[in-house]
Structures are given as C-alpha cells and as structure tokens.
Amino acid sequence: MRTVKVYTKEGCQFSGAVLQLFDARDIPYENVVLEPDSAEHHELGERTGSMKLPQAFIGAIPLGSNQEIMVADSTGMLAELLED
C-alpha cells in the first residue's frame, strides 16, 4: 500500500471526516496538523493550488481536499491509487 499523508487543521469537520474515512477503510496515514495562514499552509497552497484543508497525498500524487477525496473513494479511484 502506498504512503498517505494528510494535511489537516484542528477542529475542522472536513479534516475529521477524511480521517474517519481513512480509519474506516483501514488506510494508514500520516496526519500533519497545520495552523491556517502559517508558512507551511502557504507552502502547501503553492504545491496544490488550493488553500483548502484537508489536503491528502498518496505518495507524490495530490488527492485534493475533502470533496475530491470522498469522490475518489466512492468511485474506487482511492483504492486503485493505494495499490502498489
């Protein structure tokens, strides 16, 4: 299974929903909690083209924010991307 890294913010319902999805699917992940408007948040925004949180990556592949992650899960794309 490929490595999953999730950038979240504390107290965010969308971040919580993504983490719950990964937990429910037994997908191991690294959670990186960011402070909004921090240097790290802006760096992530430059990388992804979006300041939305959460943002998830499978290896170097950006999955997107909450909505894109949920769509990837419901279409089976998430499972496919996780395969080695």
The residue ranges of every structural domain in the chain are 4-82
Architecture of domain 4-82: 3-Layer(aba) Sandwich (3.40)
Q: Give me the pLDDT at residue 4, please.
A: 95
34-75: pLDDT as tens digits: 999 999 999 999 999 999 999 999 998 999 999 999 999 999
Cβ contact 18:69 at 8 Å: yes
Phi/psi of residue 62, each to 5°?
-75, 130
Q: Give me the pLDDT at residue 66, please.
A: 94
pLDDT band at 2 (very low <50, low <70, confident <90, very high): confident
Strands of the chain (E only): list them: 4-8, 30-33, 55-58, 61-64
Distance CA 46, CA 48 (A): 6
Q: What is the mean pLDDT of residues 78-84?
A: 90
Q: What is the mean pLDDT of residues 20-28?
A: 96
